[in-house]
Structure 1
Amino acid sequence: MQPDRGAAPAGQLDDLDRRLLSVLAEDAAVTNKALADRLGLAESTCAYRVRALREAGVVTGTRAQLDLALLGYPLQAIVKVRLGSHTMANVNQLYAALAAAPGVIQAFHLAGADDFHLHVAVEDAAALRDFVLRHVTTHRVVRQTETHLVFEVRRGAGVLDRPA
């Protein structure tokens, strides 16, 4: 049996790295023991590999998934934002302000007709209107917004389920 070489650099992940990442992506709070048992690894190998993946920057953190409705934010929407001016300073300043606005889950800077998409969660329709009026259209570079209600969110397959 060959000695474990540790996690491969980003872009050169081996099958074991991908299997570890797949389990961690599904349950970031899994214990090292449970992770090792699930993958049939020694706990020390598992801990070493996960540490190496973190040090390589492949694993950048862990997050709790929250039930937004139970927290009082049952309404989700995608707010599309188009700009009238595209200077570097305007784009960077607006992007920072949009991402920092209360209720923003994710902010996407895009190529194409829309410049930004904001995934937001709010209390109700009035709060959604107020969000757009207070945190989006108040910026002088915003030319147009379009808001779409989110009926349901499902997690996608992600990149780890694709063949290497």
Structure 2
Amino acid sequence: MVSSEIIGQSAIRPNIVQLDDIDRILLRELVKDARIPNNALATRAGIAPSTCLARVRALRDAGVITGFHTAVDPNKLGLMTAALVALRIRPQARSRMVGIARELSKLPNVLSSFLMGGDRDIILHVVCTSPAELRDFVSDELSAHPDIANTQTDLVFEHIANPGS
């Protein structure tokens, strides 16, 4: 068993940023609403606006906050068919797996890509206008890709997002 004094020591995990309660409040509130005005964020954290701005900047500089994003509802854009497509990469292409995932994540139908352990190498979160478009996308863009050995497509009936996402 690892003692609580060892957990979180920077010598053990040099890339882990130590957060205090104020940092956690700031992050929680920013995840809920990345557009929250600084003065409102400061009030929720119980700190001065100038302190709030400096702390958020420090979290960005430390790489804890990696960006601010706009969430879009694919259904409102007519992208009514969603799927998780699992890919198995050919053995000779395994050394290029990260590059392949980055390449595939740039395709217009791909929302996210995940590098996996186990029997699936990459999982893509894909949205399309219809099952027929999904079929064509998997067939034309993925199955035809020279580095992909096989695909497995699972339809998503409903995506229940984290309320803070």
Question: Could you tell me the TM-score, scaled by structure 1's length?
Answer: 0.83
Structure 1 residues 9-18 or 22-31, which shifts more? 9-18
Residue 146 of structure 1 pairs with residue 157 of structure 2? no
Structure 2 counterpart of 1:99, which letter?
S
Question: Which residue, 117, 126, 137 being the options, matches 1:131?
Answer: 137
Structure 2: 5+ residue runs without aligned partners? 1-14
**SS in structure 1 of the partner of residue 91 of structure 2:** coil
Structure 2 counterpart of 1:67, which letter?
D
Change (3 A) 1:147 1:88: closer
Residue 18 of structure 1 pairs with residue 7 of structure 2? no
Q: Which has the higher helix share?
A: 2
Question: Which residue, 42, 46, 69 being the options, matches 1:63?
Answer: 69
- Structure 1 residue 19 displacement after superposition: 0.8
Separation of aligned partners in 1, 2:61 and 2:149: 42
Residue 77 of structure 1 pairs with residue 83 of structure 2? yes
Q: Deviations over 1:60-105 (max 9, x none)?
A: 1100111110012121110011123254444244223211111111
Q: Deviations over 1:8-30 (max 9, x none)?
A: x8421111101100100111111
Question: Which residue, 92, 113, 116 being the options, matches 1:110?
Answer: 116
Structure 2 counterpart of 1:38, which letter?
R
Q: Name 1:99's counterpart in structure 2.
A: 105
**SS in structure 1 of the partner of residue 79 of structure 2:** coil
Separation of aligned partners in 1, 2:96 and 2:160: 33
Separation of aligned partners in 2, 1:152 and 1:53: 33
Task: Kindly indicate whether the alpha-carbon contact (under 8 Å) linking 1:10 and 1:56 is maintained by their aligned counterparts in 2.
Answer: no
Structure 2 counterpart of 1:45, which letter?
T
Task: Kindly indicate whether the alpha-carbon contact (under 8 Å) linking 2:60 and 2:66 is maintained by their aligned counterparts in 1.
Answer: yes
Structure 1: 5+ residue runs without aligned partners? 1-8, 159-164
Separation of aligned partners in 2, 1:124 and 1:90: 31
Change (3 A) 1:41 1:72: same
**SS in structure 2 of the partner of residue 108 of structure 1:** strand
Separation of aligned partners in 1, 2:103 and 2:84: 16
**SS in structure 2 of the partner of residue 120 of structure 1:** strand
Q: Deviations over 1:14-58 (max 9, x none)?
A: 111011001001111111011112222211111111111111111
Q: How many residues align?
A: 150
Question: Could you tell me the TM-score, scaled by structure 2's length?
Answer: 0.83
**SS in structure 2 of the partner of residue 152 of structure 1:** coil
CA RMSD of aligned residues (A): 1.9
